[in-house]
Structure 1
Amino acid sequence: MKNNFNDKQIQILEVAECLFAEKGFDGTSIRNIAKMAKINIAMVSYYFGSKERLLESLIIYRTSDLKNQLDNLLQEDLEPIEKINKLIELYINRINSNRGIYRILHFEFTSKKREQSLQDFSELKKGNLKSLETIIEDGQRKGIFRKDIIIPLITPTILGTFFHFHMNKTFFENLLNLKTEELYNNYIKTNLTKHIQQTIKALLIYES
C-alpha cells in the first residue's frame, strides 16, 4: 500500500486516529470522522473507500517509516550491541510518540475482528523482525551473542516492558515522583530505555 499521503489524506487519518483511540473502531463512524475533519463524507470514501481501508492506511502512515530507520541502522558502522541499543531507542521513542495508534493496534489485534485489514501491518512487523534477526545473527557470528536466543521473543520483551509501565502510568508517576508529563516522558527516554537495554543485553551476551 502507498504511504505518500497528501495533506488532505493526512488530515483525515489524524482525525480518525483520535476517534479510533477514544471511541474504538466500531464506535467511530465515517460520519464522525467527516464531521470532526470538517469535510464531506464522500471525500473520506473517495480517498480510502471504506473504514477498514482507512484503518489500514492509518497503520501504514504511522508505522512504515520505522522500517526505513531500521534499514539505515543496519548500514551503520556499529558493533551489534550498539545497534541493538539504538534499535531499542527507536522502538521506545516511536511508541511513546504515537501512543494513539498503538492503543488502536492493541485493541484491534486482541479482538481479531479485522485480521485482513491488519495484514499489511503484519508484513511490516515481519520486515522489522528480519532487521532484528540480521543484527543478532551478526553478533552470533562474531561470538558476542549467545547461540540459544529465541529472536522472535526479543521484541515482545522490549515492548512488553514499555506497555506495562505505560498501562500503570498513575502508579509509576506516584512511585517515581513524576509529577508532570515532561518528567514522565523524560523518564521513559532515559531510565526506562536504559533499563530495557540492560535487560536485552543480559539476554544476548554470554555470562562472563
Structure 2
Amino acid sequence: MAFKTDFNDKQIQILQVAEILFAEKGFDGTSIRNIAKEAKINIAMVSYYFGSKERLLESLIFYRTKDLKIQIENLLVENLDPIAKINKLIEIYINKINCNKGIFRILHFEVATKKKELNIKSFYELRKSNLKSLEAIINEGQDKGVFRKDISIPLITPTILGTFFHFHMNKEYFMNLLQLNTEDLYNNYINVNLTKHIQQTIKALLIYES
C-alpha cells in the first residue's frame, strides 16, 4: 500500500482518535478494534484506509509533523544571523511539540525506545531532515566564526527535547513549584520561560567563551 500524504475527513477522524488512544494506552496497548470502536466506524474501514496499526501510526506522524519540516526549511532562507535562526528554530520546536504532546510523546517514549523496533519511515525521515537543517545553521555560524568548531551537533536536538519532556513529564510538580495554577499559565510558561531557558542553554553550548 502506497503511503498517503493527504487525508479525507474520515481518515483525519481516525487519526485523531488513534492519537488519543496511543497517548493514553500506548501503541502496544491500543488495537485497531479499539480505534474503530472509539471512532464509531467498521474495523474493516480502518484497515482499508491504513492497512495496519504501524501504517496508521506512520500516517499520524506525517499528519502532525508535515508543516514542521516546511517551517524549518523556510527558516533556513530567512535573512537572520545564525544565533537568531537557532533561537527561532527552538521556538518552532517547542511550539510544535507543546501543541502536539500526544504524538511527540509516542515518538520519543514509545517508537524511539521500543525493543521491537517499528519501521516508521516518516519519523526517521523527519529526524534526518531536521538534523540536516540544524547542521546547516550551525555550519553557517561556524563559517562566520560565531559558533565553536567542537560542537556535537547530533546532541543539540536531544538537549532541546530532553529539557522539554522532563518539564512536561513532571507537569504537576512544576505547576505546584512555579504556582502555575491553570493550563493557560502552564502553556504560557513553556512558550516564554522554558523556551528562553532552552535558548540560553543552547547558546551557551554554541558560542565561544568570552
Same fold judged by TM-score > 0.5? yes
Q: Give the unaligned 5+ runs of structure 2.
A: none
TM normalised by structure 1 equals: 0.96
Q: Please say if residues 94 and 164 of structure 2, whose CA atoms lie closer than 8 Å, have aligned partners that are also in contact.
A: yes
Alpha-carbon distance between aligned partners in 2 of 1:128 and 1:112, rounded to the nearest angstrom: 24
Q: Please say if residues 32 and 46 of structure 2, whose CA atoms lie closer than 8 Å, have aligned partners that are also in contact.
A: yes
Pick from 169, 192, 205 the counterpart of residue 207 of structure 2.
205
Cross-structure match for 2:91? 89
Pick from 55, 58, 61 the counterpart of residue 57 of structure 2.
55
- Written as runs of structure 1 = structure 2, the 5 A alignment for 1:41-80 is 41-80=43-82
Alpha-carbon distance between aligned partners in 1 of 2:175 and 2:15, rounded to the nearest angstrom: 31
Residue 120 (structure 1) shift? 2.5
Report the residue type matching 1:79 in the other structure. Answer: D
Pick from 97, 110, 113 the counterpart of residue 110 of structure 1.
113
Report the residue type matching 1:3 in the other structure. Answer: T
Q: Please say if residues 11 and 49 of structure 2, whose CA atoms lie closer than 8 Å, have aligned partners that are also in contact.
A: yes
Residue 23 (structure 1) shift? 1.0
Cross-structure match for 1:100? 102
- Written as runs of structure 1 = structure 2, the 5 A alignment for 1:141-156 is 141-156=143-158
Cross-structure match for 2:134? 132
Q: Please say if residues 54 and 118 of structure 2, whose CA atoms lie closer than 8 Å, have aligned partners that are also in contact.
A: no
RMSD of equivalent CA atoms: 1.1
Q: Give the unaligned 5+ runs of structure 1.
A: none
Residue 108 (structure 1) shift? 2.5
SS in 1 for 2:112: helix
Identity, in percent, stands at: 77
TM normalised by structure 2 equals: 0.95
Residue 115 (structure 1) shift? 2.6
Alpha-carbon distance between aligned partners in 1 of 2:37 and 2:169, rounded to the nearest angstrom: 31
Q: Give aligned pairs, total.
A: 207
Cross-structure match for 1:16? 18
Alpha-carbon distance between aligned partners in 2 of 1:113 and 1:129, rounded to the nearest angstrom: 24
